[in-house]
A and B are shown apart, each in its own frame.
Chain A
Amino acid sequence: MSGPPAAGRKQVHLAAQLPGIHNVTVWSDPRARSQIAFDSFLHLAQTAERGRFDFFFLAEGLRLREHKGQLYDLDVVGRPDNLTQLSALAAVTTRLGLAATVNATFNEPYEVARRLATLDHLSAGRTAWNVVTSSDAFTGENFRRGGFLAEADRYARAAEFLATARELWDSWADGDVRADAVAGAYLRPGAGRFAHRGRHFDISGRFTTPRPPQGHPVIIQAGDSDTGREFAAAEADVVFSKYNRLDQARSFYRDVKGRLARHGRTPDRLKILPTATVVVADSDAEAAAYADEITRAQVSPQTAIAHLEAVWGRDLSGYDPDGPLPDIDPDPDSLTLKGHSLFRRGRAETARRWRALAERRGLSIRELVIEISGGQTFVGAPRTVADAIDHFVQTGGADGFVLVPHLTPTGLDDFVARVVPLLQEEGVFRPDYTSRTLRDHLGLPHDRGEDTADPAAEEEAS
């Protein structure tokens, strides 16, 4: 059924993110299952693998959000440790890439490099690291490091953190494990020796973990500021983007791809993947109705008020979610929602904009929040969705997408069963995996050090 890759057509890359945290997940749906039970993760990951996705991605949150001084209780809460969970998932998948968000602020390079190298060994080369940083003292209260980083220092530390991790991965060459029982030589002398002296890290010694199968795990980045885009252009293999409207996406795509040459890299060295949602049904009309239903479930009356309170910095519980926006102004000094990256700045301006929009369109509080939440990215019958994804990629909006389903664990089922085959027929998506490592799925070179591989050491490496 599946055609060969169509000449001159870009191949679409697809990844999936576990839905959870914040109001994307419709936990009230009767089909919704545990966000923690391993079986939920297994179902989603195996569905993504059945769909020949490049990778499965887990976001991170190291402190539960608090709203008006209490734990935020309206959305899904609770998630596992990413690398531990992905290691378990490596046992029930064979080709799917496994991407972990790991914070570079509340960790140390030695340990993160070691855990990522371990996952790459245990998954035979399927690991990715989404490098994030934090300037959040609220989250810092859970850590020895405590405190936080000044905004300006975040990327500097992240860049040095990443450089240090690469030094650690490179401290073993591919052939350093000789395992020559006859000669009695287990490893090459000096394997793992490292010394890094920099502004943020001054470390030395012996790294414990042989070079990962991919050389270096795939590096993912998601920053959108000028500094963030530059960091991605210099360092990342994959960039996550929030721009899933075609015009904005093209502008982001052109900008970031245009920065690569400055760092001596070709445009195909970096894959740009916007986050997207998909609602698919038998017909376009049914899909539109279902999308509306999902969006209303995502923004309950209580969620709508809480969303507004996060911007206003005030208790708005007396307001009717189906009524107009409050005419009082935000409290510029009060931060009601903690542990959330949104709404840290410009809240007065945001409030003015929202009020104007609501008045112009006659929207209630809840309708406004639904409106600004952005709705669903791709909505329609399978053919409509497949064509829209293809068009988006072929016209310079993206290299592919990170799909965030609204249901755990069955939210990818329809897409994989009904849309993926159409993309395959079009010749823009792989009919089957042709490679084993994530770098290969993404068409990225392996970061291999000096290749001194000894065939004996490769036994069972795959």
Chain B
Amino acid sequence: MTASPLHLAVALDGAGWHPAAWRAEDARPGALFTAQYWADLVTEAEHGMLDFVTFEDALGIQSAAFHRPDDRTDQVRGSLDAVLLAARMAPLTTHIGLVPTANVTHTEPFHVATGIATLDHASKGRAGWRPQIAARAADATHFGRRTTPQLTDDDVRDPERIGRRLRPLFDEATDVVEVARRLWDSWEDDAEIRDAATGRFIDRGKVHHIDFAGAHFGVRGPSIIPRPPQGQPLVTSLAHAMVPYEFATRSCDVVYVTPHDRAGAAAIVAQVDEAAGRSGRDMRAWPLLRFAELLVFLDAEPRAATHRKTHLDSLDGAELTSDAEVFTGTPGELADLLLDWREAGLDGFRIRPGTLPHDLVQITRGLVPELQRRGAFRTAYDATTLRGHLCLARPNSRYSQERQTRK
């Protein structure tokens, strides 16, 4: 029933996804703001032949609460701009996809689109993007130009309710992604002609204004950078409810979801299909890949992972909670779970390592070989672009298609 290979991504964030991960034995908490720390992680992930790594980010400082800042000083706080971080990794790697988070609520869509296109050029076709709305009202004061809804504790208990309250921001995010995609298409692939005879560097008939006018902003275009190597860098989003599923089906190539078992995964896949149906998206022409999220602690020794997690829980003073399912066990047990859940209609998984580098190394040197033994994961990269790893075609520029249609 399942012939297609599994796709695997790893979500990199600080010292790992456990709030006390920075206190783990092999953690390097003093190095989180150095390039070397991230280079070691990303090259390890590439060693494991993973499809891509993601870089978390936000325009506000981290918090234990979803909807407002806290003043804790016993957890990792502080972060680097993820697009720049991903770009810093590009020349150090050759195959792995690089997918930074970049905000779409307070930023200029033109700058974000240019930044992701630049990442795609610098990485020779390995860029992705996770557009992220600013869900915290407190982040708006960093810009002083607008306000966003303040979520309540009651909201936070219910993802559907959060989604409804933040719907205007998701609608705006749809516009931002649309602008980015138009800007990426605004130079046709062969726009640069260097025709010395006529003195023309570009064929201006192949560079297009995008003339986007939405409810929140307008962008005239064209892009200032030629079309990225992938044509369209990969757009991905994390979603827990119908409103963000709708955003994903309107705007994204990959959606990360958070089921807690195989049945839950099937239910979410059905919801995503329902959203896609309403948006009129043709999934055959434009596939939407579904990745499930898992927060994992892995050790070859049975029960060692559980002990590790319990120790970190005690350091943090609370049991770990997460939107994603928390898994503790051996790489072999995780392989069993991934292959089981996949049957619910998933294309892959984005795994959040509980601690770094420990759980990443368990993925690359434990889980990956286990999946390879079962014939479920690549044994070598057979493509050089991120779209290539995911078996997604390189789209034509919409503007070249238009011109061909008009002929």
Residues of A within 8 A of B (CB): 27-28, 32, 36-38, 42, 61-64, 70-71, 73-81, 83-85, 87-92, 106-108, 110-111, 114-115, 118-119, 121-124, 141-146, 172, 177, 179, 181, 184-189, 191-192, 201-210, 300-303, 456-461
Known contacts A122-B85, A122-B88, A208-B60; decide if A201 and B144 are in contact (CB<8 Å).
Answer: yes
In the complex, chain B residues whose CB is within 8 Å of the CB of A205: 60, 69, 138-139, 141-142
State in angstroms the CA–CA spacing of A201 and B77 once bound together. Answer: 25
| Residue B356 at the chain A interface, CB threshold 8 Å | no
Known contacts A88-B122, A179-B29; decide if A107 and B108 are in contact (CB<8 Å).
Answer: yes
Chain B proximity of A424: nearest CB distance (Å): 29
* Extra 5 A-B pairs, beta carbons < 8 Å, given A73-B203, A91-B90: A85-B118, A110-B142, A143-B217, A179-B22, A184-B315
State in angstroms the CA–CA spacing of A185 and B69 once bound together. Answer: 18
| Residue B75 at the chain A interface, CB threshold 8 Å | yes
- A206 engages B220 (CB within 8 Å): no
Chain B proximity of A18: nearest CB distance (Å): 13
19 contacts between A and B (CB under 8 A): A27-B201, A36-B225, A73-B201, A80-B122, A81-B114, A84-B119, A85-B118, A111-B59, A121-B33, A123-B35, A141-B219, A142-B110, A143-B108, A181-B23, A186-B22, A206-B60, A208-B59, A209-B33, A302-B198
Range of interface residues on B (Cβ < 8 Å): 35 or more
Near A by CB (< 8 A), chain B positions 109-128 give: 109-111, 114-115, 117-119, 121-124
- A108 engages B60 (CB within 8 Å): no
State in angstroms the CA–CA spacing of A305 and B201 once bound together. Answer: 16
State in angstroms the CA–CA spacing of A118 and B100 once bound together. Answer: 14
In the complex, chain A residues whose CB is within 8 Å of the CB of B192: 77-78
In the complex, chain B residues whose CB is within 8 Å of the CB of A74: 199-201
| Residue B345 at the chain A interface, CB threshold 8 Å | no
Return the contact of B74 from the options A114, A185, A209, A210 (Cβ within 8 A).
A185
Closest 7 A/B residue pairs (Cβ) = A302-B199, A459-B30, A179-B29, A80-B118, A141-B220, A118-B81, A87-B84
- A88 engages B90 (CB within 8 Å): yes
- A460 engages B84 (CB within 8 Å): no
In the complex, chain B residues whose CB is within 8 Å of the CB of A301: 199
Chain A proximity of B195: nearest CB distance (Å): 9
| Residue B79 at the chain A interface, CB threshold 8 Å | yes
State in angstroms the CA–CA spacing of A64 and B33 once bound together. Answer: 35
- A185 engages B115 (CB within 8 Å): no
The interface centre, meaning the residue of B22, B87, B117, B121 with most chain A CB atoms within 10 A of its CB, is: B87
State in angstroms the CA–CA spacing of A81 and B76 once bound together. Answer: 29
- A64 engages B207 (CB within 8 Å): yes
In chain B, what residue has the closest Cβ to A194? Answer: B142
In the complex, chain A residues whose CB is within 8 Å of the CB of B220: 63, 141-142
Chain B proximity of A134: nearest CB distance (Å): 13
Known contacts A77-B202, A91-B90, A122-B88; decide if A146 and B218 are in contact (CB<8 Å).
Answer: yes
In the complex, chain B residues whose CB is within 8 Å of the CB of A122: 35, 80, 84-85, 88
State in angstroms the CA–CA spacing of A32 and B92 once bound together. Answer: 26
- B74 engages A186 (CB within 8 Å): yes
In the complex, chain B residues whose CB is within 8 Å of the CB of A90: 35, 88
The interface centre, meaning the residue of B138, B199, B221 with most chain A CB atoms within 10 A of its CB, is: B199
- B61 engages A61 (CB within 8 Å): no
Chain A proximity of B90: nearest CB distance (Å): 5
| Residue B83 at the chain A interface, CB threshold 8 Å | yes
Chain A proximity of B247: nearest CB distance (Å): 19
Known contacts A107-B111, A118-B85; decide if A177 and B30 are in contact (CB<8 Å).
Answer: yes
In the complex, chain B residues whose CB is within 8 Å of the CB of A172: 78
- B198 engages A459 (CB within 8 Å): no
| Residue B4 at the chain A interface, CB threshold 8 Å | no
State in angstroms the CA–CA spacing of A72 and B83 once bound together. Answer: 30
Return the contact of A111 from the options B33, B71, B80, B107 (Cβ within 8 A).
B107
| Residue B327 at the chain A interface, CB threshold 8 Å | no
State in angstroms the CA–CA spacing of A63 and B216 once bound together. Answer: 20
| Residue B37 at the chain A interface, CB threshold 8 Å | yes
In the complex, chain A residues whose CB is within 8 Å of the CB of B143: 108, 110-111, 203
In chain B, what residue has the closest Cβ to A28? Answer: B196
Return the contact of A206 from the options B28, B61, B115 (Cβ within 8 A).
B61
State in angstroms the CA–CA spacing of A434 and B284 once bound together. Answer: 59
Return the contact of B91 from the options A38, A64, A188 (Cβ within 8 A).
A38
